[in-house]
């Protein structure tokens, strides 16, 4: 109980500092590109501290060296909001999220503080505008992270990928880099269907209830496995999405 209370107080203090620093960076950065860059680096620092506070250890396994000096679109499977913190701590990036998140009071506010970009897949005109916006970010040299399942899953398998937004990377010649997220253990125990809901966040779960459950845990170990880039000669988005899906599915450790 004392440990949990300490975690709550430390989290609230850390969150307050993060929100104030994000507000400061937003207020004093007139250039949108520079502002977004400041926000994502600020978020990356915050996430490293947050992971340490929550007892979350992240291992990074690289099957290839991350290409440097180039923009890249990272495609990752999605299991929890912890995925975002883990990837951000490893690599400052712009995360792609939905208008539904934007319209959520807490999650939308945090996403804006992180320099995220919001997309609307519900119409062709809106989708085309979203692709242009992502292509613009990639041209500016940002790393962009997309969860192509378009939702988080219960961990039994990787959900089918939606491919439309991959056009942004193909149009500007950016690397498409699959990253597999695997949760390995909770408090030293293997992830199973019996304990996964303490970490995985999916369906109609409520954030506050889930986060309070998360604070009871002592340790979480997860792995980010950086896979081989989608070959540059693949110029069709559905083929690129299929290859990335197959790579991530092969590397993913399903939960039983």
What six digits make up the tokens of 124?
């062709």
Where does the pLDDT of residue 67 fall: very low under 50, low under 70, confident under 90, or very high at 90 and above?
Answer: low
Judged by phi (left if over 0) then psi (alpha if -120 to 50, else beta), residue 150 lies in: left
* Residues 6+ away with beta carbon under 8 Å from 40: 88, 92, 93, 94, 114, 115, 142
Domains of the chain: 2-251 (3.40.1130)
Whether the per-residue pLDDT at 164 is higher than 80: the answer is yes
pLDDT digits (tens, 9 = 90+) for 8-61: 999 999 999 999 999 999 988 889 999 999 999 999 999 999 999 999 999 999
pLDDT tens per residue across span 130-158: 999 999 999 999 999 999 999 999 999 99
Whole-prediction pTM: 0.94
Q: Which residues contact 231 (CB under 8 A, 6 or more apart)?
A: 243
pLDDT at residue number 98: 87
Return all residues near 58 (Cβ < 8 A) that are at least 6 apart: 51, 86, 89, 90, 222, 223, 224
65 has pLDDT over 70: no
* Structure confidence by residue, pLDDT tens digits, 206-223: 999 999 999 999 999 999
Cα distances (Å, whole numbers) of residue 220 to 88, 155, 212:
17, 15, 15
| Mean pLDDT, range 119-135, rounded to an integer | 86
Name which residue leads in pLDDT, 69 or 237. Answer: 237
Cα 24 to Cα 42: distance, rounded to the nearest angstrom = 11
User: What DSSP string describes the chain?
Assistant: -HHHHHHHHHHHHHHHHHHHHHHHHHHT--SHHHHHHHHHHHHHHHHHHHHHHHTEEEEEEESSPPPPSS-EEEEE----HHHHHHHHHHS--EEEEEHHHHTSHHHHHHHHHTT-EEE--SSHHHHHHHHHHHHHHHHTT-EEEE-TTSS---SSSPPPPP-GGGHHHHHHT-EEEEEEEEEEEETTEEP-TTTGGGT---TT--HHHHHHHHTT-S-EEEEEEE-PPPPTT---HHHHHHHHHHHHHHH-----
pLDDT over threshold 90, residue 233:
no
Going by C-alpha positions, the residue among 220, 229, 221 that lies closest to residue 62 is 229
Average pLDDT, the chain: 93
Confidence band, pLDDT 50/70/90 cuts, at residue 232: confident
The answer to whether residue 249 scores a pLDDT higher than 70 is yes
Average pLDDT over residues 114-138: 89
Residue 219 has a pLDDT of 97
The per-residue pLDDT for 69 is 59
Q: Check whether 1 has a pLDDT greater than 80.
A: no
Q: Both tokens of residue 235?
A: 């110029």
Tokens linked to 125: 């005109």
State percent of the chain over pLDDT 90. 80
What whole-number distance in Å separates Cα of residue 228 and Cα of residue 249? Answer: 13
């Amino acid at each position: 109980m004392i440990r949990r209370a300490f975690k709550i107080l430390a989290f609230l203090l850390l969150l307050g500092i993060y929100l104030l620093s994000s507000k400061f960076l937003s207020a004093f950065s007139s250039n949108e590109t520079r502002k977004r860059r400041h926000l994502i680096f600020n978020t990356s620092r915050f996430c490293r501290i947050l992971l340490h506070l929550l007892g979350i250890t992240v291992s990074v396994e690289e099957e290839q060296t991350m290409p440097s000096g180039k923009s890249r679109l990272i495609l990752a499977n999605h299991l929890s909001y912890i995925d975002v913190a883990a990837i951000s701590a490893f690599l400052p990036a712009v995360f792609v999220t939905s208008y539904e998140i934007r319209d959520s009071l807490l999650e939308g506010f945090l996403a804006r503080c992180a320099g995220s970009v919001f997309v609307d897949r519900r119409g062709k005109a809106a989708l085309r505008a979203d692709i242009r916006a992502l292509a613009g970010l990639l041209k500016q040299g940002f790393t962009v992270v997309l969860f192509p399942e378009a939702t988080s899953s219960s961990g039994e398998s990787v959900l089918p990928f939606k491919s439309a937004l991959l056009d942004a990377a193909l149009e500007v010649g950016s690397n498409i880099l699959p990253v597999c997220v695997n949760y390995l253990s909770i408090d030293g125990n293997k992830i199973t269907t019996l304990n996964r809901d303490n970490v995985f966040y999916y369906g109609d779960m409520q954030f506050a209830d889930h986060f309070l459950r998360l604070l009871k845990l002592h340790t979480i170990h997860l792995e980010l496995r950086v896979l081989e880039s989608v070959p540059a000669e693949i110029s069709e988005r559905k083929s690129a999405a299929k290859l990335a899906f197959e790579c991530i599915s092969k590397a993913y450790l399903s939960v039983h």
